[in-house]
């Protein structure tokens, strides 16, 4: 309904088998899309202008590499691993020692991050790396890579974002992995995101320059670092979580509590944590090397070390913070009724707080659809705030969510309001970007940033109407750099 508005052997799999799988996959295209964001995939590096001459991959990194799952036995054919065998992305299959930007890898303990534009239930993620002595001037093939992934993370059939299936956003967790000790210099990492409920996987190649140090000669390997920057309060806790591959190890994890304001200073709690690790007398240590080579804690950045017998491959820091009991946010001067003029009005209020917070204020209509939104930083003071609203008369609600920069504070408040007066007359199907995955030719949307309505162009341009994420705004109606390729202003 319209709404009113005013504006090895496995690596040698036979070609016929791969062709058959590709044929089957063509009839079962995955709805999921996503790309490796950290370190950036070859295609995402095109979006970041780190790579040039990328063709369509620059605008659709989330679609690059989509192919049949099951690498290395199945998957894209050799020579087309980067594109997934998709002709429109063939430019990223070009391979030479100097063709692509290399991301420096300075630590063998690495975290891989993904961004999803259509997150679907996931079986697993696997990470393969080119062999020692591989030739970067040859087309990428299975023979370029180790047959076994150096890191594998189970998905368990769950959705990988903090949201619903088909949603958009960064991965809910990062993947802790360790680069093999015998790989140095230029390499390619192939990340495979396997979808659980389709025949598809997404293959992303990442061009890297590994400059991380190898294990120390006395058997202690660098498995992480604690670089303290955050001041903590009494009652907070810090945990060094040990991982053996993708599994957490309680045996080698350590926690400390903060007992005083002095102990909460970054250098002090880092020292206390390192002392706690070493006092356990286990095959893990924390500190820095002294002149004799011994590992000793310092008041500052400490390195985690582990012996091979521990199985520990990485440490991940986790801080649990208690709210500040003296913190507050008060909302005043919200009227019970606001009058629309041709469907538009401003909702004003006064905010009072003693914290530095970011406040997001959203006005919803009676169908819980947003009709106005504003975000404002408030630095421990009293300030006015206004939300521009475009809607129709009726019951509405004002929702405020505030968070502090350290994540310690979270204030929420909901106020009921009524809009009266004159509604608008122009129709639209959705308020951008709600329901974006369903946008097609003829879909009309209200762009809150401009107050105007835009119509999705006919095929073949309509495919761009649903191409949007917080980091990929080229086709956002009215504001994106290429919006006119996809939309018509009404």
Confirm whether 3 is domain-assigned: no
pLDDT reported for residue 224: 85
Confirm whether 472 is domain-assigned: yes
The yes-or-no verdict on residue 216 having pLDDT over 70 is no
Confirm whether 432 is domain-assigned: yes
Domain check: are 388 and 417 in the same one? yes
pLDDT in tens, 253-267: 999 999 998 999 999
Domain check: are 284 and 238 in the same one? yes
Among residues 405, 421, 437, which one ends one of the domains? 421
The candidate with the shortest Cα–Cα distance to 68, out of 28, 119, 14, is 28
Number of helices (H) and strands (E) in the chain: give both, helices first.
3, 31
Domain check: are 180 and 225 in the same one? no
Domain check: are 41 and 131 in the same one? yes
Domain check: are 107 and 185 in the same one? yes
409 confidence band (pLDDT: 50, 70, 90): confident
Tell me the whole-structure pTM to 2 decimals.
0.45
pLDDT reported for residue 9: 33
Positive or negative, the Cα torsion across 331, 332, 336, 341?
negative
Rounded CA gap, 97 and 91, in Å? 15
Domain check: are 50 and 177 in the same one? yes
The yes-or-no verdict on residue 1 having pLDDT over 80 is no
pLDDT reported for residue 154: 93
The yes-or-no verdict on residue 238 having pLDDT over 90 is yes
Give the residue, 246 or 252, on which the prediction is more confident.
Answer: 252
pLDDT reported for residue 268: 95
12 confidence band (pLDDT: 50, 70, 90): very low
Q: Strand pairing partners for 202?
A: 66, 193
Q: What is the mean pLDDT of residues 197-222?
A: 84
pLDDT in tens, 38-58: 999 999 999 999 999 999 999
Q: What is the mean pLDDT of residues 182-206?
A: 93
pLDDT in tens, 357-370: 999 999 999 888 88
Please state the domain count of the chain: 4
Domain check: are 96 and 133 in the same one? yes
The candidate with the shortest Cα–Cα distance to 54, out of 65, 64, 43, 62, is 43
31 confidence band (pLDDT: 50, 70, 90): low
214 confidence band (pLDDT: 50, 70, 90): low
The yes-or-no verdict on residue 233 having pLDDT over 50 is yes
Q: Strand pairing partners for 281?
A: none
Among residues 303, 320, 337, which one ends one of the domains? 320
Among residues 289, 320, 351, which one ends one of the domains? 320
Let me know: does 301 contact 273? Beta carbons within 8 Å. Answer: no
The candidate with the shortest Cα–Cα distance to 190, out of 147, 247, 133, is 147
On average, the pLDDT of the chain sits at: 88
426 confidence band (pLDDT: 50, 70, 90): low
CATH at 381: 2.60.40.2550
pLDDT reported for residue 58: 93
Give the residue, 425 or 228, on which the prediction is more confident.
Answer: 228
Q: What is the mean pLDDT of residues 137-153?
A: 95
Domain check: are 303 and 344 in the same one? no
The yes-or-no verdict on residue 338 having pLDDT over 70 is yes
pLDDT in tens, 437-481: 999 999 999 888 877 889 999 998 999 999 888 888 889 999 999
The yes-or-no verdict on residue 232 having pLDDT over 60 is yes
The yes-or-no verdict on residue 21 having pLDDT over 50 is no
pLDDT reported for residue 350: 96
CATH at 302: 3.30.70.2150
The candidate with the shortest Cα–Cα distance to 314, out of 253, 272, 359, is 253
Q: How many CA atoms lie within 13 A of 271 on its CB side?
A: 10
- φ, ψ at 254 (rounded to 5°): -140, 140
Domain check: are 32 and 148 in the same one? yes
Q: What is the mean pLDDT of residues 411-418?
A: 94
Domain check: are 56 and 145 in the same one? yes
Domain of residue 183: give its range: 10-210
pLDDT in tens, 309-331: 999 988 989 988 888 778 889 99
Domain check: are 123 and 169 in the same one? yes
Domain check: are 409 and 430 in the same one? no
């Amino acid at each position: 309904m319209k709404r009113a508005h005013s504006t090895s052997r496995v690596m040698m799999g036979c070609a016929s088998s791969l062709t058959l799988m590709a044929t089957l996959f063509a009839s079962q295209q995955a709805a999921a899309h996503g790309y490796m964001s950290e370190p950036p995939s070859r295609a995402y590096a095109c979006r970041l202008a780190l790579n040039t001459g990328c063709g369509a991959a620059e605008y659709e990194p989330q679609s690059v590499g989509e192919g049949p799952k099951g690498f290395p036995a199945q998957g894209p054919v050799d020579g087309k691993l980067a594109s997934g065998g998709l002709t429109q992305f063939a430019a990223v299959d070009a391979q030479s020692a100097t063709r692509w930007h290399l991301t420096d890898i300075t630590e063998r303990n690495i975290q891989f991050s993904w961004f999803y534009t259509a997150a679907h239930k996931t079986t697993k993620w696997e990470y393969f790396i080119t062999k020692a002595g591989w030739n970067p001037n040859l087309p990428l093939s299975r023979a370029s890579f180790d047959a076994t992934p150096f890191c594998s993370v189970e998905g368990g059939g769950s959705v990988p974002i903090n949201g619903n299936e088909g949603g958009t956003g960064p991965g809910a967790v990062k993947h802790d992995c360790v680069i093999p000790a015998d790989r140095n210099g230029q390499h390619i990492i192939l990340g495979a995101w396997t979808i659980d409920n389709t025949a598809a996987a997404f293959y992303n190649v990442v061009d890297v320059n590994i400059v991380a140090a190898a294990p120390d000669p006395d058997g202690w390997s660098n498995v992480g670092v604690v670089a303290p920057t955050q001041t903590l309060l009494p009652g907070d806790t810090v945990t060094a979580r040990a991982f053996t591959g993708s599994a957490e190890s309680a045996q080698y994890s350590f926690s400390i509590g903060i007992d005083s304001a002095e102990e909460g200073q970054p250098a002090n709690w880092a020292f206390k944590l390192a002392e706690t690790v070493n006092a356990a007398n286990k095959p893990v240590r924390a500190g820095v090397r002294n002149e004799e080579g011994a590992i000793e804690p310092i008041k500052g950045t400490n390195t985690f070390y582990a012996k091979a017998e521990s199985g520990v491959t990485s440490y991940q820091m986790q801080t649990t913070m208690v709210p500040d009991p003296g913190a507050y946010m008060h909302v005043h001067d919200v009227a019970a009724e606001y009058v629309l003029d041709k469907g538009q009005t401003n909702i004003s209020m006064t905010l009072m707080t003693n914290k530095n917070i970011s406040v997001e204020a959203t006005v919803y209509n009676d169908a819980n659809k947003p009709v106005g939104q504003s975000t404002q930083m408030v630095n421990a003071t009293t300030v006015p705030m206004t939300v521009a609203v475009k809607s129709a008369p009726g019951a509405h609600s004002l929702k405020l969510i505030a968070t502090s920069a350290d994540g310690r504070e979270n204030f929420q408040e909901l106020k009921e309001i009524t809009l009266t007066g004159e509604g608008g007359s122009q129709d639209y199907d959705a308020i951008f970007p709600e329901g974006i995955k369903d946008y097609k030719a003829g879909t009309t949307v209200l762009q809150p940033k401009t107050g105007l309505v835009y119509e999705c162009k006919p095929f073949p341009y309509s495919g761009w109407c649903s191409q949007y994420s917080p980091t990929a705004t080229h086709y956002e109606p009215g504001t994106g750099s290429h919006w006119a390729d996809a939309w018509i202003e009404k």
